[in-house]
Every structure is written in structure tokens, then in C-alpha cells.
Amino acid sequence: MDALYDAGSVWHAFDAATDRYGSRPFLRTPAVSAAAYADGAIEYSFDAAREIAKRLAAAYASAGMRTGDRVALAFDSRLEVYLHLLALNSLGASIVPLHSAATEDELRYIIGHSDSRLLVSLPEHSARLTELNICDVRVESDLESGNVDFQAAQPDHQREAALLYTSGTTGKPKGCMLSNDYFLALGAWYTGLGGICSMDENDRLLTPLPPNHMNALCTSFMAMLYCGGCVLQLDRFHPSSWWQTVREEQVTIIHCLGVMTAILLTLTEDELDDFSGQIRFCFGPGSDPRHQGVFERRFGVPLIEAWAMTESGAGGMTIAYEEPRHVGQRCIGGVAPQTEYRIVDECDVAVPVGDAGELLVRARGDDPRRHFFSGYYKDEAATEKGWKGGWWHTGDIVREGEDGSLYFVDRRKNVIRRSGENIAAVEVEAVLLQHADIDGCAVCAVPDEIRGDEVFAFIIKNKNTDPRQIFDHCMTHLTYFKVPGYIAFVAELPLTASQKVSRGDIKVMARSTLEKGESIDLRKFKKGTSN
């Protein structure tokens, strides 16, 4: 591990990195994303970021924040998220980043469940968040340092640095506790790959992914902190100006998701350049395998496939960054040397090489949970269920090739992955069942050419209900990307012998219904949202 890992906390690693890199650029918002609130691009060097973080830390200390406290952050995808992370981490406190598109119901649950002592928000969100009446809400300008001197807490690898909420399979989002070790290990893992994915202080990493996801908050941020490069944070994905931004900002590394590569391939030839001399690689997990080779040939840039989940961190990552990468075959590479894995059937029996089974992972050595998340907040039972038998059960189906490479096949868990967002089918079902005209429902994923998956809902209605009314009901209670894009009315749902909904049959029915044109397409009503 790097010496920065040994620093023991995100703050202490950043402080040491700042001593190394000083005036080099560290955090930047390109002009296209800053246009709504600034006259041009916004940039902070390592030195400048440290001074701002120290001032914020003093302000938080003055507000009574101490080691072990949590602060919810509503900063959308602005650089403030990273500055406040550093400030609060220096005090031993943890952050709870909020999704900018979350509904009132979702915000109320996450803020309350997380036991956040304070919520700091952009001014434009403060009134809405204050009305929730859950905790004290302030804007950054209201944090006054007074006469409190900045005093960093002692480093602690195991102390919580962030609480990230992710969709699970039981309805409500789960709070994943991420330690300092989690952050530091991801930075060490990523910058230690070398080869195609080598990094140094001249790198400029562009990400449109929001900081409430581990990819942006942990992976890209910590990688640039380690190597002395610069994080270029976009507010969202801007297809029409994407390549212009890449050129103007001299981007060398791109982070994206499969949906974004699919959209980029729709651009006309006259909008493109050859970026092979500028961009070394694009980290794009979840890309459609049909697009990977096309993308690489068109743009001259390796499109790197990988697999991870918030729970696994650096303890269970896989990445296809070494040849042969088996382009176009959904190859997710191999596990890191510090990781062990098994591929098992439903009885936890190992399957032969070439057969599909669930991927189980753990860290090598005496501590199988090293570098993984610390557990689900307030849900020890779910944590231990995930670690059944001393292995983390991923819920993802893979197969192993003869050369040891792993190939993604499917998800065993009833989770829909739309545009990189994990959606628990049962959460959508719970909202649907709140509608008085619905007696039963079942939700699953169906393929989508652009977004990977789309949400499909079978509904048993008790009277003649307008589909748009159902859509509007869901929009009131769910973030837009969780709302069904397709619905179909049915008289009954397929059941198992134990009278539970047969999830396998539902998936088959949904694909067939979609192919036959027997579903109601509601996707157009998402226009005007952040769809």
C-alpha cells in the first residue's frame, strides 16, 4: 500500500498529498457545468482546497460537529461535496450525500434513518429541506467559524467517512457505512493498477457521475488525490458538448457508465475527433458488449469493463485492464491479488469452469472483510446475511473462462440497473401498492438499448385506471429513474408453490409482453425530468 494509505484517514492522506502537489489543480468544474451559477470554470488547487477545508472544519467545529457525527449534504454534483467531505473527515465526522432528484419521501427517510445532526445545502434547496422538519438545515454561508481553532482528529482507518444509500432487495434503501480504510484502499487499488490504467500528476479525470455514488465520491476522487491529478466534475452528462469539453479541458481519463457510451455512439461523424493521442482510457462499467469494440475503434480509446458494488469496495473489485480483455464479451477481468472468489450454484456448491453461478468474494488473509464496506447501518441482520459463510454474496451471476477471466451473465437479486442507477423492484412495488386502484403488482427489468434496463410493472387493477395516473402517483413518491417506463395490466401474476411471485416467470413474461407490443409505454412522460 502507498504511504498515503498509511496516513489513516482521508483528511490526513489529502494533507500529505497537498504537501507533495501544492499548487497543482485538484478539483475543477468545467464551464458547461458551472454556467448556472458562475461566469466560467471553477478550479481549486491542492493548496486552495486545503485552506477552504480548514476554514469549513473550523466552522463545523463551531457548530458543534464532533467525531462520530453525520452531516447530510445537498450540493448536487458541485465541488462543495468534496470540500465538505475533507472538512468533516478532518473532525472525524461522516457525510451523507443526497441525490439531487430525490423525492420528499426519499429525503425524509434517508435524513431520518442516517441520524444526521445537520444538513448543509445549496441555497436553492434550503427552503424545501427545512420544511421536512427533520434536522437543522443551513447553507454554507451560515457556517461561521467564530474563534474556534482548527484541530484535526486523530486518524483512524476504521472510522466512518461516509454513509451512502443504495437500493437493495428489501424495499427501503440501505445505508452503506464506508470507512476511511474503504476510501484509502480504493485510491491505492486504482492508482496501483498500472498498464492501460496508469496514472500520474498530469492526469485530468472527467466524471459526470454524481458524488452520492462510490464511483465519483471514492474511486475517481481518491485516485486523483493519490496521483496528484485533477478531478473534473460535471453536473450531469452533456452529450452535445461532451467531446468539446474533453478537448478544451485536456481530459486524459474518462469515467462514465454504459448508457453514456451508447449515447455517444449516436453522435454524427462530423462531431467527432480521434482522441487516441489524448485519452488513455475510458472507465465505463456496464457498457453494452455490442458497443465496446465499436467505441474503441471509433474513438481510439480503450473502454475498460469492470465490476464492483458499493458493498465490495477495493476488497472485491474486478477489472479487465490487461490483455486479453475479450472485448465485446462482457468480460469483467479478474479479481485483484488481495481478493479470493468462488462461483457457486444455489446450494453454495462450486460450479465447473465455464458454468454460470453466483459470484462470492472476500479479502485474502485473516480479515475477509478488509477493504469492504463496514456494514448496513441499523441492519446487522442484512449485513450478516450478505456475509453468509464468510463470503460476500454479490447476487450477480458470472462465469469463468479457461484463462481465469470472469464474464458477467446476469443479476440474481431483483435489482434493476437503469442508466447506472440501482433500483430495488420491491421499492417500486411498495409505492404501486399504495395506489387505491391497484390490488397487486410485480416489477422487473426489461432491456433498453440506451439505458441498459428499463422498469417494467405488471399491475392487477380493481377498476378502470388511467395509466398516466399511476405514473403520476409514482413520480410523487419515487425518484424519476425508479418510475415504471412500461406497465401492463394483468388478471393474475405467476406464483411459486409457496404462493410467492415467480420472479423468473415475471422476467420472461415482461420480455414477451414488450416484444409483442402489449405493454403501455410511459417513457415519454419522463421527458423534462433528468431522464
Does residue 522 sit within a domain? Answer: yes
Answer yes or no: is pLDDT of 91 > 60.
Answer: yes
Q: Which of 9, 144, 133 is nearest to 64 (CA)?
A: 144
Does residue 426 sit within a domain? Answer: yes
Does residue 457 sit within a domain? Answer: yes
Does residue 486 sit within a domain? Answer: yes
pLDDT digit string, tens, across residues 505-521? 888 999 999 999 999 99
So what's the pLDDT on residue 170?
55
Backbone angles phi, psi at 393, to 5 degrees: -90, 110
So what's the pLDDT on residue 100?
77
pLDDT digit string, tens, across residues 105-158? 889 999 999 999 999 999 999 999 999 999 999 998 888 776 667 789 999 999
Q: Residue 392 region, left (φ>0) first, then alpha (ψ -120 to 50), else beta?
A: beta
Does residue 232 sit within a domain? Answer: no
**Which amino acid is it at 464?**
N
Does residue 188 sit within a domain? Answer: no
- DSSP letter at 220 equals I
> What is the domain count for the chain?
1
Does residue 445 sit within a domain? Answer: yes
Buried b (16+ CB within 10 A) or exposed e, 162-175: bbbbbbbeeebbbb
pTM to 2 decimal places = 0.84
Backbone angles phi, psi at 112, to 5 degrees: -70, -45
CATH (domain of 444) = 3.30.300.30
Average pLDDT over residues 39-46: 96
Q: Which of 21, 32, 370 is nearest to 224 (CA)?
A: 21
So what's the pLDDT on residue 446?
92
Which of 299 and 380 is assigned the larger pLDDT?
380
So what's the pLDDT on residue 206?
98
Answer yes or no: is pLDDT of 493 > 90.
Answer: no
Answer yes or no: is pLDDT of 288 > 90.
Answer: no
Does residue 302 sit within a domain? Answer: no
Backbone angles phi, psi at 299, to 5 degrees: -105, -5
User: Measured at the alpha carbon of residue 255, what is the angle toward residues 253 and 258, in degrees to the nearest 5?
Assistant: 135
pLDDT digit string, tens, across residues 168-202? 555 688 999 999 999 999 999 999 999 999 999 99
DSSP secondary structure letters along 243-274: HHHHHHTT--EEE--HHHHHHHTTS-GGG---
pLDDT digit string, tens, across residues 241-286? 999 999 999 999 999 987 788 888 887 665 566 777 899 999 998 8
Q: In what order do the strands lie in the sheet with 94-97?
A: 136-139, 118-121, 70-74, 94-97, 160-166, 174-179
So what's the pLDDT on residue 529?
52
Residue span of the structural domain in which 499 resides? 415-526
